[in-house]
Chain A
Amino acid sequence: MTDSQVKTTNIITESYQDLSARNWKRYFSFSTDHKVIGIQYLVTSFIFFLIGGIFAMVIRGELITPEADLVDRTFYNGMFTMHGTIMLFLWTFPSLVGLANYLVPIMIGAKDMAFPRLNAAAFWMVPIVGTLMMASFFVPSGSAQSGWWSYPPVSLQNPTGQLITGQFLWILAVAISGVSSIMGAVNIVTTVVKMRAPGMTFFRMPIFVWAVFSAQIIQLFGLPALTAGAVMLLFDLTVGTSFFDPSQGGNPILFQHFFWFYSHPAVYVIILPIFGIFSEIFPVYSRKPLFGYKIVAISSLLIAAVSGLVWVHHMYASGTPGWMRMLFMLSTMCVSVPTGIKVFAWVATIWGGKLRLNTAMLFAMGALIMFIFAGVTGIMLSAVPVDIHVNNTYFVVGHFHYVLYGTVTMGMYAAIYHWFPKMTGRMYYESWGQVHFWLAFIGTNLNFLPMHPLGLQGMLRRVASYDPEYTFWNVLASLGAFLLGMSTLPFIVNMVSSWIQGPIAPSNPWRAIGLEWLIASPPPVENFEDTPIIVSEPYSYGKSDPLVSNLEGVLGHHE
């Protein structure tokens, strides 16, 4: 190593504060900077996360006693429908797209996304979607009430006879969020394929980029099927066609196919970026290279490919013939192979590493533990006999919350903590972060673990009242839910106060390897003064090869 060769881990100490976003107003105005848009996505989706969370509190409040005594049943139906919809379409999808928006261009050495204005347009649709969803509480029919999957014929009922019903607004909102997602997906896929810096080959891309790329490919090929189903449902609801209305010769099962052909792969749209986050975080805080980089990278694409072939496992109980059940049971179990490879790689990465258990790492490890648990119940569910038994019970709700809360939301928290110093130029307060983690971890398990015995005993989901024999587990779950609700408070306090007055962050506080850590915190407007040239693979912890070359442009010009 010559004098001019300096370890990538301690490069910049000062930052381009003057070039970056210092003024918070910038984050609330129209901008085409991918970083501003990324944060706009994150903040907006978090607000919806809170709203969805309040709805969850209403649901669990209702279920703390066996009687339906807190809210009336119509409202309750609206609550769980809107809770699920908001959590999926307005929290997980947009928050992950926000993170991808922020990180992907930097991680591949680009100055922005391929189409910055398209990017902004896609973002601004999210508040529109949210407004439409919320507006449905104020129309005479009340909000949509047929669950987030909105199966006909339930979703076709319209006792008020009006055109603008909650269900109508709901379909409209979902359709617009679909358009926004397709716009985002085209943009991200093009960015990854066409905008990589010289030397950034596919096998030098960070796993997060691989994961986002695979996930967005799923969006491109899955979402249009949902759109097709939604268009047909909308016509049934408004002009009186009979695609899905069995009393008029329609076929409601066809809707389920359209729905799950997208909505199963959608699970991977959500979980793949989380896997990407894991792969970024574990090496840093264990100070080891990611185990099996190439296999982990390829397994993302494999998961994306197989995910298109398993949708019928949600329809075992919908009169699906036996041979089809068998086929889809087998294909579903196939998904667990590439997924298992990834889990193995993370465990091997952590194994024997020098662990630094700060908040980001705690959240990532907690999320991994809960993902492993969810994987076990998931494989149980993929087996036809088990699924037939627990179908539509709280076992399913428990399973997917271990995925959606335990893994996805906790993984998102890990990401926010990990990249917070980069995004804001400030450090968060570690002690608040630890409090947040323990409240969330205990709350999640207390909330969702009891749902498994409840489901095995036969408690149905989507009910406002239940047999008193189920009271014990329900009380526990509700207490867990309130704890979980409370756990967001230290997070909000921490984020707001550190963003305003936290200690100034260096450009690479975690001594991590990756292009984003080579530039200032927060990054200057165009990320890199000059395009970096990438000369090695990511995750070279403990090795000496450099990551980039010609950083002169990145760092030099201001001297």
Chain B
Amino acid sequence: MFRKTIIMDSSISSQPLHHEHDAEGNSYFAFIVFLCSESIIFLSFFAGYIIYKTTTIDWLPAGVTGLEIKDPLINTVVLISSSFVIYIAEQFLEKHQLWGFRLFLLLTIAMGTYFLVGQAIEWNGLEFGFTSGVFGGMFYLLTGFHGLHVLTGILLQGIMLGRSFFPNNYEQGHFGVIATSLFWHFVDVIWIVLFVLLYLWQ
């Protein structure tokens, strides 16, 4: 037996009793919060880079004159364009045109992979390493940490692509795709800053 107590207030009795929380909206919000938080890590690295660059006397390691810009520039263009490609993929999904979605998602994956391979080739050709002074450390730390994010993005896109072949449970919500695409834009924006800091500001 429980004693029953109702506190009535006429002003609210018309309000709906059932107040369902929308799990997808929560995830979306949480993901944005998470990305804001993560951008602070990058910002810290950027701040570190700027401080080192402006205060270190022997900035470049001996024998190194600077970074080659041409190939990274092509890489950059590919990566930035892929942000538009994934956007198109999302549009196809909106219209429930799964094949268009898959095609453009695959294109995004290809472009991301192109970027990663390009980066690997660049790393391979450089005449300084991770331990070549503060410059070498910062260069590999920044590009490596960003590259890890690109890789994560590609994996997420792969998962989304795979999931699109199981449309039954796929039609329910697109949160995964929205998040993946958001993440990809984030990775791109970070790269633009990185490109300016590392390659243009030499």
* A binding-site residues for B, Cβ under 8 Å: 2, 4-6, 8, 11-14, 110, 114-115, 182, 185-187, 189-190, 193-195, 197-199, 220-225, 227-229, 231-232, 235, 239-243, 248-251, 254, 258, 261, 530-531, 533, 535, 546-553, 555-556, 558-559
Contacts and interface: CB of A to CB of B under 8 A. Distances in A.
A220 B138 CA distance: 24
A240 B133 CA distance: 10
Contacts of B30: 114-115, 186-187, 189-190
Contact of B15 (A5, A198, A261, A547): A198
Given A4-B6, A114-B26, A550-B6, 8 more contacts: A110-B21, A186-B33, A199-B12, A224-B41, A224-B44, A249-B57, A250-B134, A258-B44
Contacts of B11: 535
Which of A2, A249, A261, A559 has the largest number of chain B CB atoms within 10 A? A249
Interface string B134-158: 1011100100000000000000000
B17 A550 contact: yes
Contacts of A552: 4, 6
Contacts of B5: 4, 6, 11-12, 551, 555
Contact of A193 (B29, B48, B130, B133): B29
A232 B141 contact: yes
Nearest to A113: B26
Nearest to A194: B26
B134 A190 contact: no
Nearest to B16: A198
A242 B56 CA distance: 12
Interface in B3-54: 3-9, 11-13, 15-19, 21, 25-27, 29-30, 33-34, 36-38, 40-41, 43-45, 48, 51-52
A241 B142 CA distance: 13
Contact of B21 (A2, A6, A11, A195): A195
A191 to B, nearest CB: 8
B43 to A, nearest CB: 8
A199 B12 CA distance: 9
Contacts of B57: 249
A559 B133 contact: no
Interface string B42-78: 0111001001100111100000000000000000000
Interface in B111-134: 130-131, 133-134
Contacts of B1: 14, 559
Contacts of A229: 44
B7 A194 contact: no
B166 interface: no
Contacts of A227: 41, 44
Contact of A530 (B15, B17, B29): B17
A223 B141 contact: no
12 contacts: A12-B3, A194-B26, A223-B37, A227-B44, A228-B48, A232-B48, A249-B57, A249-B133, A546-B9, A550-B12, A553-B17, A555-B4
Nearest to B133: A249
A197 B19 contact: yes
A243 B37 CA distance: 23
B7 A6 contact: yes
Contact of B4 (A2, A195, A559): A559
Contacts of B17: 530-531, 533, 550, 553
A248 B133 CA distance: 7
B2 interface: yes
A190 B130 CA distance: 39
B52 to A, nearest CB: 7
A227 B45 CA distance: 10
B51 A186 contact: no
B44 A228 contact: yes
B9 A535 contact: yes
Nearest to B57: A249
Contacts of B137: 232, 235, 241-243
Given A189-B33, A241-B130, A551 B12 contact: no
B44 A546 contact: no
B4 to A, nearest CB: 5
A276 to B, nearest CB: 21
Nearest to A217: B33
B37 A224 contact: yes
Contacts of A12: 2-3, 5
A242 B133 contact: yes
B41 A549 contact: no
B48 A254 contact: yes
A401 B1 CA distance: 50
Given A198-B15, A242-B137, A251-B55, A220 B130 contact: no
A223 B34 CA distance: 12
Closest 5 CB pairs of A and B: A228-B44, A224-B40, A241-B137, A224-B41, A190-B30
B15 A533 contact: yes
Nearest to B21: A195
Given A12-B3, A194-B25, A221 B8 contact: no
Nearest to B18: A531
Contact of B134 (A223, A242, A553, A555): A242
Contacts of A553: 17
A249 B36 CA distance: 32
A115 B26 CA distance: 9
B37 A182 contact: yes
Contacts of B27: 115
